[in-house]
Amino acid sequence: MPKRDLISPDDLSLEELTALLDLAAEMERDGGRDLCAGKILATLFYEPSTRTRLSFESAMLRLGGRTLGFADPGTSSVKKGETIADTARMIQAYADIIVMRHPLEGAARVAADYADVPVINAGDGGHMHPTQTLTDLYTLKKARGGFQGLVVGLCGDLKYGRTVHSLAPMLARLGAKIYCIAPPELPMPEQALREARSAGAVLGETADLDAVIGQLDALYATRVQKERFPSSEEYERVKGTYVVSAALLSKAKPDMLVLHPLPRVDEIAYEVDDDPRAAYFEQAANGVPVRMALIAALLRLTGETVLAEARAAEPSTPGRARPRAAPEVCANPSCVTNHEHYLTPQFAPVPDESRLVHCIYCDHEVQA
């Protein structure tokens, strides 16, 4: 059976997503039943992480499997200039499944292309973070039972924040509505919003959190991604734009969930932690059963089929045919193709936008 990876939200069909969330609930209820006994998970973390890496390790251990990997690329052969492709080809001999976090956009896609074992994207630069999205959705579903008609405010750094780039299309597919709440300097990139927009799921884009908070069923706060700003001056200008406080929550619905992928810097005041609406620590805890479900499903150890044989062909995931008039290089300086020079940049048409193509690694869009 061909392997499956989780690199972007487009890798899962709606049925698969639902099945994964159900399996996560089962994992939370019944534990891992040693489903992964004898299996090894490799965690390759080229960027800092606490929750994501440790919840993946915890998930594999709870499934009866074992883990290896690195949390500091400075101690690995990356330091000597080893490429992602070579690393992936080697690690597949040491582990049954790979989890990778990397500062370059599209890095996990490259690892998935070169490894014969399943690869999970644990964050590729400012691009995507699909397993955080699964955790976010699981948390919402547990609290609300479903997604249809839920109004979710995505707030903070929507430009560089990878969690919201994966979350917005998924929420739209599930029937939820979104508000984008960001300072003018940090809007959601059009490419990340395209699917939600065409589904009619975007209720508005504003910088004014106060103005919309009363309408929200969930507020998804995010950290300003200091490490991705071109200069510290630009970061200084926007840091601290939003602080979720008790005073702000007094204007919110009595059952509005406060979510945050964490770590927080100053986006949520500590006084909010005692508010029953604060759900971010539970959200972090939910990362374990969700990742247990994902690992077991990708390794096909669940008994029933959770993931179909072939990768889902969502409308936003066109094939890899190189359209005519595609550019020679990707214009996104953080795209993996501009750093790993054995890669050939590849572009695919943007659905319903005949004039645009997008890079298949980082999704950056350009005129065809």
Residues lying near ligand NCD in the complex (CB under 6 A) are found at 51-52, 123, 129, 132, 162-163, 223, 261-262
Which of these is catalytic: 29, 80, 320, 341?
Answer: 80
Beta bridge partners of 105: 335
C-beta of 51 vs 311, nearer to ligand NCD: 51
Which of these is catalytic: 129, 159, 165, 194?
Answer: 129
Annotation marks residue 165 as catalytic: no
CA distance 92 to 90: 5
The least CB distance from residue 131 to ligand NCD, in Å, is 8
Question: Helix, strand or coil for residue 97?
Answer: strand
Annotation marks residue 364 as catalytic: no
Which of these is catalytic: 51, 159, 165, 223?
Answer: 51
C-beta of 302 vs 332, nearer to ligand NCD: 332
Question: Tokens at residue 248, please?
Answer: 């702000």
C-beta of 62 vs 162, nearer to ligand NCD: 162
CA distance 368 to 356: 5
Find tokens 């490490």 and name the residue.
227
Measure Cα distances from 219 to 50, 177, 198, 261 in Å: 23, 12, 22, 11
The least CB distance from residue 262 to ligand NCD, in Å, is 5
CA distance 86 to 89: 5
The least CB distance from residue 316 to ligand NCD, in Å, is 21
Annotation marks residue 101 as catalytic: yes
Phi, psi of 258 (to 5 degrees): -105, 115
CA quadruple 222, 155, 269, 224: dihedral sign: positive
Annotation marks residue 51 as catalytic: yes
CA distance 271 to 248: 11
C-beta of 71 vs 262, nearer to ligand NCD: 262
The least CB distance from residue 348 to ligand NCD, in Å, is 25
The least CB distance from residue 230 to ligand NCD, in Å, is 18
Give the chain's largest Cα–Cα span: 56
201 contacts 174 by C-beta, under 8 angstroms = no
Annotation marks residue 52 as catalytic: yes
C-beta of 225 vs 302, nearer to ligand NCD: 225
Could you give the residue numbers annotated as active site?
51-52, 80, 101, 129
